[in-house]
Amino acid sequence: MSTHREKLRIADLHAFYGESHILHGIDMHVMQGELVTLLGRNGSGRSTTLRAIMNMVGRRTGSININGTETIGLPAHKIAHLGLGYCPEERGIFSSLNVEENLLLPPPVRSDGMSVEELYEMFPNLYERRYSQGTRLSGGEQQMLALARILRSGANILLLDEITEGLAPVIVQKLGEVLVKLKERGLTILLVEQNFRFAAPIADRHYVMEHGHIVEEVQADELEAKTELLNTYLGV
């Protein structure tokens, strides 16, 4: 039973790569079952925010509370076990593993992950190519694999970095359907997106980032009123 409706709360988060100070005091939160996006131009610090949550940056300060647990002092390998699944921007499919090995790689972080059968049903391409080398898959298939493997681990807070980048419209549409399905199952999703048209219809809330700051928070129902503002931030 989950008494923490708030799945993720970040306060005054700073992140550094060596000497470069990338995030300058991020404050944000994500509620259970919410789909929240991080929007912003290239280099605004969206990927770094996700990486900081996973403790994959050089150094980080502030507070990151996941499911009621403060994680700022936690070693990287303990963080996923709070129910987090991370899908990196570069997808991170392992070339020394075949598709099925990639799928089975992440250890379970919660008990009720999706079964391999269920995932193969959701992504039939992966089943057909389950013995191929992971990196031989097409970009879209690799993206599905990157998503499928964290669903199998049972993660119920997903951090997804630009999952639609460079993919054909049909695949983007398919990924959109999958995200809606996951949302219906009650999963919590923090989505970094460049493709605003993909994110707008499925997201509950948006944060806009610029130069390592959060400069705007937009509710789904304010989108229309704030279109102009968003356009200036995103430079579209």
Partner 1 sequence: MATFLGINLFGLFGQLLVGLINGSFYALLSLGLAIIFGLLKIINFAQGAMYMLGAFAAWLALNYLGINYWAALVVVPLVVGLVGVLMERFLIRPIANEDHLYSLLLTFGFALMLQGLFTHMYGSSGLSYSIPEALSGGTKLPFMYLPDYRAWIICASVVVCGLTWWMIEKTKLGAYLRAGTENPQLMQAFGINVPLIVTLTFGFGVALAGLAGVMAAPIYSVTPDMGSNLLIVVFAIVVIGGMGSIGGAILTGLGMGVIEGLTKYFYPEASNTVIFLVMVIVLLLKPAGLFGKEA
Ligand X SMILES: Nc1ncnc2c1ncn2[C@@H]1O[C@H](COP(=O)(O)OP(=O)(O)OP(=O)(O)O)[C@@H](O)[C@H]1O
**Spatial distance between the Cα atoms of 164 and 174, rounded to a whole number of angstroms:** 10
Residue with Cβ nearer partner 1 (13 or 50): 50
101 binds partner 1 (CB under 8 A): yes
CB neighbour list of residue 71: distance below 8 Å, 6 or more residues apart: 53, 55, 64, 65, 78, 79, 82
- Per-residue mark of binding to partner 1, 54-83 (x: CB under 8 A): xxx------------------xxxxxxx--
- State the minimum distance, in angstroms, from the CB of residue 25 to ligand X: 15
Q: How far apart are the first and last CA of the chain?
A: 43
Interacting residues with ligand X between 4 and 43 (CB under 6 A):
17, 20, 22, 40, 42-43
- Cβ neighbour number for residue 28 with a 10 Å cutoff: 18
190 binds ligand X (CB under 6 A): no
Counting runs of H as helices and runs of E as strands, what totals does the chain give?
A: 9, 10
- State the minimum distance, in angstroms, from the CB of residue 108 to partner 1: 9
**Helix H segments across 42-107?**
46-53, 76-79, 99-104
Of 63, 54, 57, 59, the C-alpha closest to 13 is 63
Residue with Cβ nearer ligand X (223 or 234): 234
114 binds partner 1 (CB under 8 A): no
Contact of residue 182 among ligand X, partner 1, Mg ion, none (CB under 5-8 Å per partner type): none
CB neighbour list of residue 157: distance below 8 Å, 6 or more residues apart: 7, 8, 30, 66, 67, 82, 83, 84, 85, 187, 188, 189, 190
The count of chain residues that interact with ligand X, using the rule CB under 6 A, is 12
Phi, psi of 192 (to 5 degrees): -90, 125
Interacting residues with ligand X between 89 and 118 (CB under 6 A):
89
- Per-residue mark of binding to partner 1, 161-200 (x: CB under 8 A): ----------------------------------------
- Name the site residues for ligand X (rule: CB under 6 A): 17, 20, 22, 40, 42-48, 89
Binding site residues, Mg ion, CB under 5 A: 47, 89
Residues at the contact surface with partner 1, assessed by CB under 8 A:
54-56, 75-81, 86, 88, 92, 94-97, 101, 104-107, 109, 150, 153
